Structure 1
Amino acid sequence: MRRVSKIAAAGVVSAALALTATACGSSTTSDSGKPSSGGSSTASSGGGSKAKGVGMAYDVGGRGDHSFNDSAARGLDKADGELNLESKELTASNGETESDREQRLDSMAAAGYNPVVAVGYTYGPAVEKMAKKYPNVTFGLVDSVVDAPNVDSMVFATEQSSYLAGVAAALKSKSGKVGFIGGVQNTLIGTFDAGFAQGVKDTKPSVQLTREYLYKTDPRGFNDATSAAAKAQGMLDKGVDVIYTAAGLSGDGSIQKVAGKSGAWAIGVDSDQYNDPALAKYKNSILTSAIKNVDVAVYDLINSVKKDNKPKVGTNTYDLANGGVSVSATGGFIADIQAQIDAAKQKIVSGAIKVSSTP
């Protein structure tokens, strides 16, 4: 029976950092200068001609979102460098149609890229259709499940890492008020919300949690830093001093507002945002990040196709037990509470704590 996926959170960057995501075939450039759509991957382990590699279809925000898409890009770069591949990267745009997503995957599969990786739950129907059209191509789908013999469905227990983020928030808040901002109010982002809320409540029931969402269904919730900044400012004005934003590139707007408030903390998502060069000026306000290792899943899929010649397919789950999700300790800001976080992790792994995936 087909299972509905969990989707990863991503947030939007501020105007100063924002990328313009483009529809099928147009080109964008990331902060690193590497092409993120319409261009080929430049990572390489050496000279000489490169073999045709991976077709990578990013969600809105694309490479350079400092979060969800960037995690996938790291897996691609590692594989391209090791295997000397030439890969193609295309990026979704705000307001696009199902046909746009299908065309993006179709163009890469038809051109001979294999595997073709779709980053984000919105690609689910398109992957299902294209997997039937190209049975000899392996497709990767992040944050959703398609039951097909040539699809690797990569799902992540984001409620578990979010629970640990909630533990950290409850223990570090001085005001006793914490906040959650989601990009889109759907099943996937609900897993971040649910885990965070449970972690806060289990740790300190007296702590008040404020929840806000940028959009009900529109994926631009992952590419609207201005809206996230406004939500974050509203929370800060009400005394909230720790804010966890699961909204991809939009989260940059939230982080910037938190950094402007003395004593407030931001919690990053998907990537270790403390270490992101584009967020370096705000890193001392990033308490921790709830990490989702999309890079590991992407790298494993590419290797299975290109190196092992044994494509990884089926539904593959990444959680705390296998290192698929985690919380970061970079910056040293959670060193004083690391023991409590580790204890909570062990209880989740052992099954002593059951983390809800529904708010």
Structure 2
Amino acid sequence: MRRISRLTRAAVGVASLALAATACGGTSSDSGDSDGSKEDLGLAIAYDIGGKGDQSFNDAAFAGLTKAKDEFGYKTADVEPTEGETDADKEQRLSSLAKQGYNPVIGVGFAYGPAMEAVAAKYPDTTFGIVDSVVEGDNVASLVFAEEQASYLAGVAAAKATKTKTVGFVGGVDIPLIHKFEAGYKQGVKDTDPKVKVIPQYLTQTAEEGGFSSPDKGKAAAEGQIEKKADVVYQAAGLSGQGVIEAAAKAKVWAIGVDSDQYQQEALAQYKDYILTSALKDVGGAVYTLAKSVKDDKPLTGTQVFDLKVNGVGLSDSNPKMAEVAGLTDAVAKAKEGITSGSIKVATE
């Protein structure tokens, strides 16, 4: 196999896979040939905290797996995390998938970093991928995103939609990755209307405390921000974000979704009228892109950057009520043009 190892922007479409994400539970493995030979196996993904059915990050990865399975007609596997698991547990999971012959094997989330670094070295003929982290290795593709750019657009939308001049941000875990979401959002708000106040809050200090997997924590945080007059709340909190959206809908204020187009998701249908938009992150497109590169015998490695210029991130426009907010559509379009042209530099912290 010839490997492509360089810093690159991979051109994928956000919208095509965001709509494909579905709310499913459990762990699946779809059978191909029964002899277990490596050439018969294809893409495997190992989920992050929250697992499949989070209506967000993990479901987007599953959409990429589904697209690859349908297009290439091969076996796939997707494996759930366990509560309180260690790096050793993750290492065992990745090793098992590689040993079975899956290729590529993708860890969905930065938490797989240490495990992947160890496992990739043991299976040099397998291509590994990791979402949201950079892991060095000749056979590792680091799939990273310009979350701050999508969040900037979300901030523009929030500043245009607020009537109280107060908006909220709920981050799942207080870590550098989620700081990118907050930084872009704050900048988008302030550049659009400096008079708008942003109230930020993080649910937990570590993922193990449930920041990405506790809708009740998200709901309580959003309720607190709404009590402080926030009438738009943006969440970057994985499964916990469902609680944020529920709280916003019950208070009849705007929520802004994350990762997938949450306005379109069946599990959130009862709240959709209050989901103004979603900051999109095409995890599914990244998963599919890596799978296709392996299928084409040109496996990608190195850091793969998915940004606004290649539609690796973006802002959904599914809710028709967006068009009813004065100046919102034009402001978002102008901001997108500024970011892609380089005239707007978005902070990451």
Aligned counterparts, 1:98-247, within 5 A = 98-219=87-208, 220-247=210-237
Q: In the TM superposition, what is the alpha-carbon distance from 1:32 to its structure 2 partner?
A: 4.9
Superimposed CA distance per residue, residues 270-300 of structure 1 (whole angstroms, 9 cap, x where no aligned partner): 0000000110111000000000001111101
In structure 1, C-alpha distance between the alignment counterparts of 2:31 and 2:92, rounded to whole Å:
24
* 3-state SS, counterpart of residue 82 of structure 1: helix
Distance 1:210 1:314, change over 3 A: same
Distance 1:234 1:41, change over 3 A: farther
Task: Looking at secondary structure, tell me which structure has more helix per residue.
Answer: 2
In structure 1, C-alpha distance between the alignment counterparts of 2:234 and 2:227, rounded to whole Å:
16
Q: In the TM superposition, what is the alpha-carbon distance from 1:314 to its structure 2 partner?
A: 1.0
* 3-state SS, counterpart of residue 232 of structure 1: helix
In structure 2, C-alpha distance between the alignment counterparts of 1:122 and 1:200, rounded to whole Å:
30
One-letter amino acid of the counterpart of residue 115, structure 1:
P
Distance 1:52 1:353, change over 3 A: same
Which residue number corresponds to residue 244 of structure 2? 254
Of 67, 78, 92 in structure 2, the residue corresponding to residue 78 of structure 1 is: 67
One-letter amino acid of the counterpart of residue 357, structure 1:
T
Distance 1:72 1:340, change over 3 A: same
Q: TM-score, normalised by structure 1?
A: 0.86
CA contact (8 A) 1:40 1:89 kept: yes
In structure 2, C-alpha distance between the alignment counterparts of 1:42 and 1:137, rounded to whole Å:
20
In structure 1, C-alpha distance between the alignment counterparts of 2:231 and 2:75, rounded to whole Å:
45
Distance 1:42 1:283, change over 3 A: farther
Of 54, 59, 65 in structure 1, the residue corresponding to residue 43 of structure 2 is: 54
One-letter amino acid of the counterpart of residue 339, structure 1:
D
In structure 2, C-alpha distance between the alignment counterparts of 1:51 and 1:133, rounded to whole Å:
21
CA contact (8 A) 2:22 2:265 kept: no
Which residue number corresponds to residue 352 of structure 1? 343
In structure 1, C-alpha distance between the alignment counterparts of 2:127 and 2:111, rounded to whole Å:
18
Give % identity: 50
In structure 1, C-alpha distance between the alignment counterparts of 2:40 and 2:329, rounded to whole Å:
45
One-letter amino acid of the counterpart of residue 255, structure 1:
I
List runs of 5+ in structure 1 lacking aligned partners. 4-29, 44-49
In structure 2, C-alpha distance between the alignment counterparts of 1:342 and 1:41, rounded to whole Å:
41
Matched, 1:341 2:332: yes
In structure 1, C-alpha distance between the alignment counterparts of 2:49 and 2:81, rounded to whole Å:
5
In structure 1, C-alpha distance between the alignment counterparts of 2:287 and 2:201, rounded to whole Å:
31
CA contact (8 A) 2:22 2:63 kept: no
Superimposed CA distance per residue, residues 296-320 of structure 1 (whole angstroms, 9 cap, x where no aligned partner): 11101111112x1111111010111
CA RMSD, Structure 1 to Structure 2 (Å): 1.7
Q: In the TM superposition, what is the alpha-carbon distance from 1:53 to its structure 2 partner?
A: 1.7
Matched, 1:88 2:68: no
Q: TM-score, normalised by structure 2?
A: 0.89
List runs of 5+ in structure 2 lacking aligned partners. 1-6, 8-20, 33-38
In structure 2, C-alpha distance between the alignment counterparts of 1:275 and 1:42, rounded to whole Å:
30
Q: In the TM superposition, what is the alpha-carbon distance from 1:55 to its structure 2 partner?
A: 1.7
In structure 1, C-alpha distance between the alignment counterparts of 2:22 and 2:289, rounded to whole Å:
26
Aligned residues: 320
CA contact (8 A) 2:262 2:278 kept: yes
One-letter amino acid of the counterpart of residue 240, structure 1:
A
Runs of 4+ aligned residues of structure 1 deviating over 3 Å after TM superposition are 30-33
CA contact (8 A) 1:223 1:250 kept: yes
